[in-house]
Amino acid sequence: MEIKGIDFLQFLDVTKMSEEDKKSWEAVSESFKKASVEFFKGNIDMDKLKEEIARSIKASDDFKKPNLDEFVKGEEYKKKMEEVEKTLLDMKGEMETASKGGNKEKSLEEQLREGLKDCIKIKDGVEKVNLRKACEESPARRKKITLSISQKAGTIISGGVAPHTGIYLDPKLSVDPRQQTVIRRFANIASIGDRMVYITEYVPGAGNAEWVPEGGLKPAMDAALTETNVSLGKVALTAKFSEETLTDLPQLVAEVRAEIISRIGIKEEDGILNGTGAGGEIVGVLPSVPGFVLTDLTVPTPNMYDAIVASYTQIVSTSKMNYRPNLVLMNPIDVATMRLTKDSQGRYLLPFKYGDELIDDLRTESSTAVNQGEFFMGDFNFLNIRDRTDLEITWGWENDDFTKNLVTCLGEKRLLVYIKKQYITAFLYDSFENVITAITA
């Protein structure tokens, strides 16, 4: 397994730096990349890695300037170094696990039990959790546990601005997959170590493959390559529980699943589709997805099912079978409408096949992130979700929680989503009304 160093600049907000300051940090980053490789290989420990960063800073006259000197001595830089340490330790742990043959998926209960093991006692055959003790013994009186989400694809941890290189690891631990968003079960998912992803998009032009005689001129295709970046967003939620409610481990698991994981999942899915990019939200994919434009298909008295088949046909025909839609997301009311549709004699039409499939290998799933009367279909292997951090759960006290025997639970995660331009025709987003009108004979 090839090991690449980590770019230290990914932990800093370079957009607010002058070009001169950025160059100063680039020199530090080069030393950090080399040291991080040695850390991953086990040749140095975390303390030595920190020493290398400090040595690089002291060796540069640039950091004697008031603004940089003040920064590296301040609280913000201290917090950055804590983030660096956590990220690298997590990555090294994943690499070590992967080298031993991968991970065994753990349930939400197993992960919480492991994170709270020092505060759990068995009483009358029931696992009792002492969250007060867990908070009191944790830094800043905040108990934090990271819950990893299972992924279909291998984990990609970017080594810097080059998004397609990095350290490839086995899938991480998982929470109960039923609590994940629908889209996550079908999308291309990976983890990243950067605050943003730089992607290279290929926009094909004229020309195509042709049969050529021996010695004949080979056809050429015009194409354009563009580079763009996609930034992270954060989704978070806090909820208050009584200490008594969270005393039993099974009850704690149930509350975290219902009040934190599920609610964050719902908001995440809405952001993946409809995010505006404002107020910390990610930019959703729907604004860039094409609608129905096929003109060669007509149906007498078409219905919603016909609209789905026509949309599927557009994707596979225009791509010459390069894309095979595997998911159509519909509002729950529209799914119910299709299921309850009857013929003139009152018999259910039942277009759904076994496993909620409308067409072979095309799953139908409900999502409130899709407006009633609309649907989103595509080959979701080309929809990319990149997780910067797994779901983090933190327990602690705020205001008068302590005197009221309450515990505040905070859940948060950071992610981004994108579809490359060359694969945008693998998707379709439109209304049933528009498609039905377009295919009516």
Look at residue 3 and tell me whether its pLDDT is greater than 90: no
Tokens matching residue 290: 């094409």
Tokens matching residue 17: 């730096």
Q: Select the more confidently predicted residue: 60 or 15.
A: 60
What share of the chain has pLDDT > 70, as a percent? 82
**Residue-level length of the chain:** 441
State pLDDT tens for residues 183-228: 988 898 888 877 778 777 776 666 667 888 888 887 776 666 677 7
Look at residue 428 and tell me whether its pLDDT is greater than 90: yes
Quick one: average pLDDT of 242-258?
A: 81
pLDDT of residue 4: 63
Q: What residue ranges do the domains of the chain occupy?
A: 8-99, 105-441
Q: 10-20 b/e with 16+ CB inside 10 Å = b? A: bbbeeeebeee
Distance CA 387, CA 415 (A): 4
Quick one: average pLDDT of 277-281?
A: 89
- Residue 37: name the closest of 183, 192, 159 by CA: 159
pLDDT of residue 131: 83
Cβ contact 411:260 at 8 Å: yes
Distance CA 148, CA 144 (A): 13
Question: How wide is the angle at C-alpha 290 spanned by C-alphas 285 and 294, nearest 5°?
Answer: 155
Cβ contact 192:388 at 8 Å: yes
State pLDDT tens for residues 360-388: 778 889 999 999 999 999 999 999 999 88
State pLDDT tens for residues 87-103: 777 777 666 665 655 54
DSSP 373: T
Residues 6+ apart with CB under 8 A from 311: 292, 328, 375, 377, 428, 430, 435
**pTM (2 d.p.):** 0.66
Distance CA 418, CA 378 (A): 14
Judge: domain 105-441, CATH 3.30.70.120: no
- Residue 49: name the closest of 39, 59, 57 by CA: 39
Quick one: average pLDDT of 41-66?
A: 79
Dihedral angle of Cα 430, 433, 436, 437, to the nearest 10 degrees: -110
Distance CA 283, CA 287 (A): 9
Cβ contact 143:131 at 8 Å: yes
